[in-house]
Structure 1
Amino acid sequence: MSDVIVLPFVLAPVVLVAAAFGLVVHAVQRAWAAEWPTLASPRALGLVSALALSGTLTLYAYAHMRYMTTFQPQDLCMLRAGVRGVPDARSDFPLSLVCGGAEVVPVWINPALFVLPVIGLAAMAAAVRYASIRPDRKSSQV
């Protein structure tokens, strides 16, 4: 696999942790300033977007490495389902591995891989919209 393809999956957990930490710091700063009603801001929405989108890449990388990666296809079913033989069906997106007529990939992974990007893109759109309609604080203090 090319390094260009692997790089996002390596950086995604780092971005995930950094976004979660940034969101916690933002919430604590707002709590100290007693601004709970105005917790929604472009910064918070951007951090939620980064959290959801990097979470999507992290989950996909984890699930793909856990359920789909092996050097020999016949070993996949033995390792994951305890069934000898090659997989009945295998798909990278949506993630699917069928061994002996049973799906090996947990049922919650594919819905999460569809919902997380929607949350991330919605938060990004809301951040852009909120930042564009919010009056500039510096120019109004003149």
Structure 2
Amino acid sequence: MTQTARNLVMDLEDAGCQVKYMIRDRDGTYPALFDTILADTGIDVVLTGVRIPRMNAIMERWVRTCRCELLDRTLILHQRHLRHALREYENFYNEHRAHQGIANARPLAPLPTLITDPDRLTRLDIRRRDRLGGVLHEYEHAA
């Protein structure tokens, strides 16, 4: 057993948590023995996709954003509550939250039409809708 694998297994046992999966890329930093040791402790190793070198980075970005915008601001009570909060956040992230990398658009929505009429600009009526008890806010023009 490698020292790294031994430390990982001991840390998991000391924490008293059950880990089902370890997601890692296909880098080769960890030898096959590492995967075998994890499999012996009941942890399935899931490899990222073939020829998708940025897959891990994309997921790490999503996890960090989810943590900063949701989990650091929410007291999670139990697994059902966590699943509900993550579903709400996923919908918010894909359907409403603006993404700077794609011209402040939302991934699952078309770009909004530009408001060029000066009269309409001076009397904008913006409505806010709270999600998850006010942790997340959605803003939109009132019809």
Relative to the length of structure 2, the TM-score reads: 0.26
Higher relative CO (Cα under 8 Å, sequence separation at least 6) belongs to 1
More strand by share: 2
Relative to the length of structure 1, the TM-score reads: 0.26
